[in-house]
Amino acid sequence: MRTLRLATTNRHKVEEIRAMLEGVPVELLTLADAPPIAEPEETAETFEGNARLKGRYYAARLPDVVVAEDSGLEIDALGGEPGVRSARFLRPNATYPERFDEILRRLGDLEGRARSARFVCAMVAVRGADVLFETRGVVEGEIAAAPAGTGGFGYDPIFFVPALGRTLAEAGDAKAAVSHRGQAVRALVRWLTELK
């Protein structure tokens, strides 16, 4: 069985990716099973750049095939913000309700497609210095008028998916079927299958 080291310290991402890989014959290790490694600074200006940066950083320190991802929310009316700075938006330790308030305030009374946004997930698999696999998953949606739902994490309560008629925080298992991360993990599984 192939072993993958999932290099993220975000427990929500780990939970989602682990659930998505259920039934796939891979052994999924995380950073929690490895000696502590200081986190790299995410200095790139693109999701792909940061995913590669994290993948290469951990692959240089671990013997495994490292899977890393960088993800975030792009809101068109805010010029693509929070984008690669999604985890740090407003200030690094701001609560998500505080971030929702700020985003909803900035969007004001814009409606429908004027509130267009997308979640992006850039994912890489790296061994040593080699990027073996790279993909990008995207889910298009709109910023809801108000937060709704208690599932998921991060910006899910304000991300309305027209195809579902719900926010991602209300989507339950349907989140994996449509999400940026779900698409990226399905591409990863296809790559793993083709390797055999």
Give the residues lining the site for ligand IMP (CB under 6 A): 10, 42, 70-73, 86-87, 119, 152-156, 179, 181
CB of 161 to ligand IMP, least distance (A): 11
Catalytic-residue membership of 70: yes
CB closer to ligand IMP, 119 vs 196: 119
CB of 194 to ligand IMP, least distance (A): 26
Going from the C-alpha of 126 to that of each of 123, 129, 151, 157, 187, the distances in angstroms are 10, 7, 31, 32, 15
Pick the catalytic residue from 33, 70, 101, 156.
Answer: 70
The residue with its CB nearest to ligand IMP is 154
Q: Residue 33, SS3?
A: helix
Tokens representing residue 122 in the block: 């850039």
CB of 102 to ligand IMP, least distance (A): 13
For residue 137, the cross-strand partners are 121
Q: How far apart are CA 163 and CA 175, in angstroms?
A: 11
Catalytically active residues are 70
